[in-house]
Amino acid sequence: MPLTTLKPQVETILSNSKNTVDDRLLAVCELLEAQVPYYNWVGFYFKNGDKNELKLGPYVGAPTDHTIIPFGKGICGQVAVSNKNFVVPDVTAQDNYIACSITVKAEIVIPIFVNGENIGQIDIDSNTPDPFTEADERFLEFVCAKVSEIL
C-alpha cells in the first residue's frame, strides 16, 4: 500500500480535538505500525523541558528501557542536535547506535519542528534490513508537520 494513502487517516486522527494530544499521537503510532509491514516500533520522543535530553512519548512496539536519551546519543539524540532526518539502513554499521532490541535492523528518525525549533521526533525501528525509501522520508515529514500543528 502506498504510504500516501495513509495521509487522510493521519489528518483525521490528529484533528480530533476531543482526544488528548497523547491519545492522538498514540493513535498515529498504532495506525503506522498496523498499516506499514516493516514499521515494527513507532514512537515519539520530545525535548524534556529545558534539559538537553529527549523523553519518550507515546509509542507502540516492544517496551524500551530508553525513556530518556541525552542529546547526541544514539540516532534520536543525533537528530536532536543535527535537526536533520536520519535514515539508518543497517543499525550494526552505526557506532553511536543505542540497541533497543536485537531484532532491529534499520531505523528512521524525522524531527518535528514548532516555530522553527526542533521539539521532538518520530522514531521508527524495522526488523527488516534497509526497508526505508525516500517515500518513507517524505511521508514521515508530512506526519511530523501535521503533528507540529497540534503541539
Query: How many separate domains does the chain show?
Result: 1
Residues 123, 110: Cα–Cα separation, whole Å: 7
Identify the burial level of 120 via C-beta atoms within 10 angstroms of its C-beta, where 0-12 means exposed, 13-18 middle and 19 or more buried: buried
- Is 80 exceeded by the pLDDT of residue 100? no
Range of the domain at 137: 3-148
Tell me the torsion sign for CA atoms 75, 99, 108, 57. negative
Global pTM reads: 0.96
CATH number at residue 31: 3.30.450.40
Q: Per-residue pLDDT tens for 36-88?
A: 999 999 999 999 999 999 999 999 999 999 999 999 999 999 999 999 999 99
Q: Measuring CA to CA, how many Å separate 19 from each of 16, 41, 63, 140, 150? A: 6, 22, 24, 22, 11
